[in-house]
Amino acid sequence: MFDLRSIIAGVRALFRKKQMEREMDEELRGYLDAAVKEKVRSGMNQEEALRAARIEMGSMDAVKEEIRSAGWESTLETIWQDLRFGLRVLRRNPGFTAVAALTLALGIGGTAVVFSLLDAVLLRPLPYPYSERLFRLFPLEGKRKRGVEQASYADFRDWQRQTRTFESLAAYGGDSLNLTGTAEPERVQASTVTPGFFATLGVSPVLGREFRSDDAESVAILSYALWQRRFGGDAGIVGKPIHVEGRAYTVVGVLPPEVRFRSHPWATPASDIFVPVVPTPARNWHSVRVLGRLAPGVSKEQALAEINGIAARLKQAYPESEALGIAFEPLAQYVVSGADQTVWLLLGAVAFVLLIACANVANLLLSQGAAREREMAIRTAVGASRGRILRQLLTESLLLASSGGAIGIALAYWAIPLVVRIAPPFSSLFSRLEDAHLHLNWTVLGFSALLSALSSVLFGVLPAWKATRPAQSSFAASRAGGMRGGLMALEVALSLVLLVGAGLMMKSLIRLLEVDVGFRTEHLLTMQVSLSEAKYSTPEKQAAYFDQVLQRLAAMPAVLSAGTVTDLPLTRNETSNGFEIPGPHPGQGTAGYHALSAGYFRTMGIPLLNGRELEMGDSANSPLVGVINRSMAGKYWPNENPVGKTIVVYRFVAERTSAGTHVQFKPHMLAIVGIVSDIRQLGLDAPPDPELFMPYDQWPAQEMSLVLRVAAEPSSLIPRVEKEIWRVDPDQPVTDIKTMDEWVAREAAGRRFILLLIGAFASIAAVLAAVGIYGVASYGMRQRTHEIGVRMALGARGQQVVWLILRQNLSWLVIGIAAGIAGAFALTRLLASYLYSVRPTDASTFGLIVLVQLAIAALASFIPARRATKVDPMVALRYE
Amino acid sequence: MKSSELVQGTLDMLILKTLALEPLHGYGIALRIEQISKGVFRVNPGSLFPAFRRLERAGWIKPEWRPTGNNRRAKFYQLTTLGRKQLKAETEEWARQLAAITRIMRAPAIGNL
C-alpha cells in the first residue's frame, strides 16, 4: 500500500488535519441525516428514526477513530501521542518510575557488562585476514588418542611438506628472553617462529620483512609496542643489532600495532620479540605448536582426510614415534579455550538477574494496572479499541525500559573497567580482554538498546494484556493475584539459584584459601632470574652466579635466609620426568624434578621428616643425591624407608649442531638422602604429587627462582634486593618479583573473579526479589484494608492479622523456593569445574541459602503485614 | 430477515460495483448495498468510511462535495478509470473463486462413500 499516492495523501492529511477533521464531521453528520430521512420516509416518526439511526451508527467517536486509523499517518500520530502521554504518566508517578527504571537498569546494565565480555572474548574475530581459515594442528598420542599441545619439529616439517589442503603451515613456540644493552635489562615475552609464520597469519611487517629460510639464527622481529617503548620508534631499526640473551641479534622487521600474538592463550603479556625456531630433529621432542591456513575453498572434511593420510604415512615411516594421528581446531577456538565457558556461565547468571528485574517491573505494572482500571474503562467507553489501549500501555513499557536501559548503560560504562581490572591474570579470558581494549562500544550499545526493547515486551505484555481485559469480576481479580504470586515465585526461584551458585563459589574459595600449603607463605619474597646462555655457558658459571647472589642476599640485614629453586610452588610451573627403581624388583615412576640450594627448605619452612637435607658439600664432584617428598616415599616405597636407596634419573641434554639442536635424556644414578613433608607444589588446588629435589650444583639450571624469608614487609625490600642482585651482574634482568602471598592470591584469582561476579548478581537478585515480595505483600495488604478493618473491629489481634497477610504469600513462596532448589540442582553442575572441594549439590550450602532466602522473604512480607496491624479500624471501614 | 457479515475482503468490491452506476454519498452506498442484497448485507459506518479512505488512497474512487439542497452539501464518491479497471479485475477474480468454491461444495463428500 506504500505507493507514492498514499504517501502524498498521508503527508497532506498530517498537515491539513483540521480541515480533514471538519470534513469528516460533516460527512458523518450528513450520513446520519440521510439515514434519519430514509427512516422517516419508511414510516418512523422523527424521534424514533433519530434513535434508530444513532444505534445503527454506534459511537460517532469510535467510527472517527476507525477512519483515522485507515491511513498510515495515523500510526505516526498515535505513536507520538502515546509517547507524550506515556511520559506524562511516568512523570505523574515518580516513585513507581524510579523503582522500575532502577530495577531495569540493574538488569540491563549487568547484562550489558557481561555481553561486552562476550563480545571481546568470543565475538570479535582475530586480527588476521580470513582468520576463519586459521587452524592449530596438533598430534594425537597414546591409546586414547589424547591431543598433545605441541608437535615435534621433525613431524611439523613432514606435515608442512606433504599438505596440499593447507595453503601454508608454520610452527611457533613460547619463550622469554633477556633484553640488555641501551636501557635497563628486562625480560620480555618472546615467540620462536618458523619462516613464513607471519605470512600464514596474514600479517606483513610495517617495517622490514619477516623471517626467511636463509636467515641466520640471530635475527629478530619486534612487536610494535616494544619498538615504540624500548627503541623509541626508531625508523632505521631494521638492520641494527639488539642485545638478546647476551648476543647480538639483527632486527629484520617490526610488526603492525594490532598484532598481539601470544605463544599460548594465557601468555601475558603478548609476545614482544620474535626469533627463529631452532630445529630439533628428535621426533620424540615435542617443542612447537603448529599453525595452518586452510587453502581457499577447501572444506574441513577434505583437510581432515588428507591429514589422516599424512599421519598414517608418518606412522609407517617412523613406527617408533608416539604420534598416532593429527587433529586440528580453529585458532579462534584455541585462543578462547576455557574463557568461553566462563563467559557463557556469567551470561546465564546475569540473564537471571534481568528476568527477575522484568518480573519485578511486571508486578509493579500489575499493581498499577489495578489502580488504573477506571482510566481504562473510560478510555474504552469513549471509543478506544483494545489494540489501541494495548499499544498505549506497551509504549509506556518501552519508555520505562528505555530509561532503565539508559541508566543501565551508564552503570555498564562504570562497571566494565572494574570487571576488566579483576579479571584473573594468566588466563585466556584476561588475554582476550587485554587484546580487546575493552570499553563501551557500539556493539554493546546496540545490544543494550535491543535488550531494553526486548525486556519491555517481557515485562509489559502480561500487565497490558491484563489491563485491557474487562476485569471487574472476582474471577479476573483472583487470576491477577495468581499472576502476581507466580511472578513472585519466579523471582524467588531465580534468585535462589544464583544465591546457591554464589554460596558454592564462596565455600570453594574459603576452602581453597584454607588449604595447608605445607610452608609459611608470609614474609616470603620471590623473584625469577634467567641467565643468558651466551654469558653463562657452563654449569659452573651458572652455579657460581647463584652462589654469589645467594651469599649477597643472605647477608642483607632484613633477610633471614635465602634459597633458590627451579620451580617455585604455586606458580603452575613444574618439570616432571620419569625415573627408575633398579634392583631385584625394578619399577619406574614419574616425579617433579627440582634443583635447589641447600637453604631452600629452611627458607620456605618445609620440615625434614627423615634423613638429611641437601648440603653445601653436595657438589658437582660428589655423587648425585636427592631429597624426596613424603608423597613420593609413600607412593613408591610404601613399606620401607627410601633413605639410602638409589634410583636412576634422567638428565636433559641439548647439543647444538649444524643440523639443529639434538636433545636427549641421559641416565644418572642418584642416592636418596632425605624425606621432606609435602607442600602444594603446582597450585593451591592440586593435591601433592611425588617430587624430587636435587642440589643445583649437581643439577645446574639457567632459570631459577630466588626465595627470601625476610623480617620486614617483603615488598618494601624490592629495590634493595634488585640492587644487590645487579651488583653481581648489572645486565641480568630480575622478573616476577612478588611476595608469596601474591602468588597465593593469583592462585585464587580465577575463582575470586567468578565469585565476585556471581556474588554481585546474586546480591542484586536477592534485593530485587525482596523488593518484589515486599511489593506483592503490601499490595495484598492494601487490597484487604477493608477486610482487616472489619476483622480488627471484631476483635482480631495483631498477630492474627500479620498471619493473614503472610499466609497469602506463603504458598507462592514455597513454590518459588521448591522451584529454586530444583533449578539449582539442575544448574549448579555447570559450576562444577570452578568449584574446589565442594560438590555442586552440597547440602549444607543449599540448606543455608534456603534459610537465607526464607529470612529475606519473611522480612519482606513482614513489614507490610506489620503495617496492616496499625490500620485504624474506623479509617479502614471508611476506606471504600 | 437476518443480516450477515460481509465475506472478508468483499466490501471494497461491493463499493466499487455500487459506484459503477452513478456517484453516491456514504449513506447512499450503504443503502444501495442493503437494498440490492435484499437486506442480507448491512454495512455499518465503522467499516464503510475506512473503506472509502482506503479506496481513495488507492486512487480507485474520487470524492466530490455536491450541494444537496437547504444549503447543505454531501461528499459524493465516484469511480475513477483506475477504479473501473480494478472492479473488472476483482469481478473476474470473484467469479473464478466462486466457481471453484461451488465445485468444491458440490463434490461428493468422500467421508460418506
Predicted confidence at residue A352, as pLDDT, reads 96
Residues B65, B73: Cα–Cα separation, whole Å = 6
Q: β-pairing, A660-676 with A625-629?
A: parallel
- Residue contact A67–B28, C-beta within 8 A: no
Q: Report pLDDT digits (tens) over A493-529.
A: 999 999 999 999 999 999 999 999 999 999 999 999 9
Mean pLDDT, rounded, of chain A: 89
Residues facing residue A626 across a β-bridge: A672
Most B-contacting residue of A66, A68, A69, A75 (CB-CB within 10 A), to test interface: A66
- Tell me the whole-structure pTM to 2 decimals: 0.80
Q: Which CATH number fits domain B11-107: 1.10.260.40, 1.10.10.10, 3.30.230.10, 3.55.40.20?
A: 1.10.10.10
Of residues A382 and B75, the one with the higher pLDDT is: B75
For residue A81, count other CB atoms closer than 10 A to its CB: 13
| Shortest Cα–Cα distance, A464 to chain B (Å) | 25
**Is the distance from CB of A221 to CB of A302 less than 8 angstroms?**
no
Residue A146 host element (H or E): strand A146-147
- Nearest CB to A58; choose among B30, B46, B50: B46
Interval A738-763 mean pLDDT: 94
Q: Quick check: B47 pLDDT over 70?
A: yes
ipTM over 0.85? The verdict is no
Instruction: Select the highest-mean-pLDDT range: A245-249, A385-389, A657-661.
Output: A245-249
Of the ranges A98-102, A400-404, A537-541, B37-41, which one carries the lowest mean pLDDT score? Answer: B37-41
| Shortest Cα–Cα distance, A57 to chain B (Å) | 6
Q: Quick check: A361 pLDDT over 90?
A: yes
Q: Quick check: B113 pLDDT over 70?
A: no
Predicted confidence at residue B105, as pLDDT, reads 83
| Shortest Cα–Cα distance, B12 to chain A (Å) | 13
Interval A221-225 mean pLDDT: 96
Q: Quick check: B1 pLDDT over 70?
A: no
Of residues A470 and A147, the one with the higher pLDDT is: A147
- Residue contact A28–B45, C-beta within 8 A: yes
Interval A816-823 mean pLDDT: 96
Residues A121, A484: Cα–Cα separation, whole Å = 39
| Of A834, A831, A836, residue with least CA distance to A684 | A836
A-chain CB neighbours of B11 within 8 Å are none
- Structure letter (DSSP) for residue A538: S
**% of chain A at pLDDT higher than 70:** 98
Q: Quick check: A655 pLDDT over 50?
A: yes
Interval A831-853 mean pLDDT: 94
**How many CB pairs below 8 Å do chains A and B form together?**
69
Predicted confidence at residue A574, as pLDDT, reads 83
pLDDT tier, A468 (very low <50, low <70, confident <90, very high otherwise): confident
Predicted confidence at residue B7, as pLDDT, reads 63
Report how far apart, in Å, the C-alpha atoms of A453 and of each of A85, A355, A395, A757 are.
19, 14, 10, 25
Interval A42-52 mean pLDDT: 87
Q: Report pLDDT digits (tens) over A319-357.
A: 887 778 899 999 999 999 889 999 999 999 999 999 999
pLDDT tier, A399 (very low <50, low <70, confident <90, very high otherwise): very high
pLDDT tier, A220 (very low <50, low <70, confident <90, very high otherwise): very high
- Residue contact B74–A58, C-beta within 8 A: no
Most B-contacting residue of A27, A28, A56 (CB-CB within 10 A), to test interface: A27
pLDDT tier, B111 (very low <50, low <70, confident <90, very high otherwise): low
Q: At what angle do helices B45-58 and A60-68 cross, to 10 degrees?
A: 20
Q: Report pLDDT digits (tens) over B8-21.
A: 568 888 888 889 88
- Nearest CB to B26; choose among A31, A56, A71: A31
Residues A270, A263: Cα–Cα separation, whole Å = 8
Residues from A contacting B (CB-CB < 8 Å) are: 1, 5-6, 9-10, 23-24, 26-28, 30-31, 33-35, 38, 56-58, 62-63, 66-67, 69-71
Q: Quick check: A628 pLDDT over 90?
A: yes
Residues A637, A639: Cα–Cα separation, whole Å = 6
pLDDT tier, A695 (very low <50, low <70, confident <90, very high otherwise): very high
Cell of A147: 591431543
Predicted confidence at residue A662, as pLDDT, reads 80
Q: Dihedral through CA B97, CA B102, CA B103, CA B104, nearest 10?
A: 90
- Residue contact B49–A34, C-beta within 8 A: no
Of the ranges A272-276, A584-588, A595-599, which one carries the lowest mean pLDDT score? Answer: A584-588
The domain locations on chain B are: 11-107
The domain locations on chain A are: 4-71, 73-129+338-472, 143-321, 473-517+741-880, 536-730
Burial class of residue A770 (count of CB atoms within 10 Å of its CB; 0-12, 13-18, 19+) = buried
Interval A144-169 mean pLDDT: 91
Of the ranges A3-17, A35-49, A248-262, which one carries the lowest mean pLDDT score? Answer: A3-17
**Is the distance from CB of A712 to CB of A537 less than 8 angstroms?**
no
pLDDT tier, A164 (very low <50, low <70, confident <90, very high otherwise): very high
Residues A667, A601: Cα–Cα separation, whole Å = 26
Residues A588, A636: Cα–Cα separation, whole Å = 9
pLDDT tier, A1 (very low <50, low <70, confident <90, very high otherwise): very low
| Of A605, A624, A724, residue with least CA distance to A667 | A624
Q: Report pLDDT digits (tens) over A80-118.
A: 888 888 889 888 888 889 999 999 999 999 999 999 999
HEC sequence for A247-277: EEEEEEEECCCCCCCCCCCCCCCCCCEEEEC
Burial class of residue A52 (count of CB atoms within 10 Å of its CB; 0-12, 13-18, 19+) = middle
For residue A870, count other CB atoms closer than 10 A to its CB: 8
Most A-contacting residue of B15, B34, B49, B70 (CB-CB within 10 A), to test interface: B49
Report how far apart, in Å, the C-alpha atoms of B85 and of each of A634, B7, B16, B79, B82 are.
100, 22, 10, 10, 5
Cell of A732: 641480568
- Structure letter (DSSP) for residue A131: G
Residues A152, A160: Cα–Cα separation, whole Å = 12
Residues A835, A512: Cα–Cα separation, whole Å = 9
Q: Report pLDDT digits (tens) over A196-205.
A: 999 999 999 9
Q: Quick check: B3 pLDDT over 70?
A: no
B-chain CB neighbours of A65 within 8 Å are none
Interval A536-554 mean pLDDT: 92
Give the residue from chain B lying closest to A56, CA to CA. B44
pLDDT tier, A848 (very low <50, low <70, confident <90, very high otherwise): very high
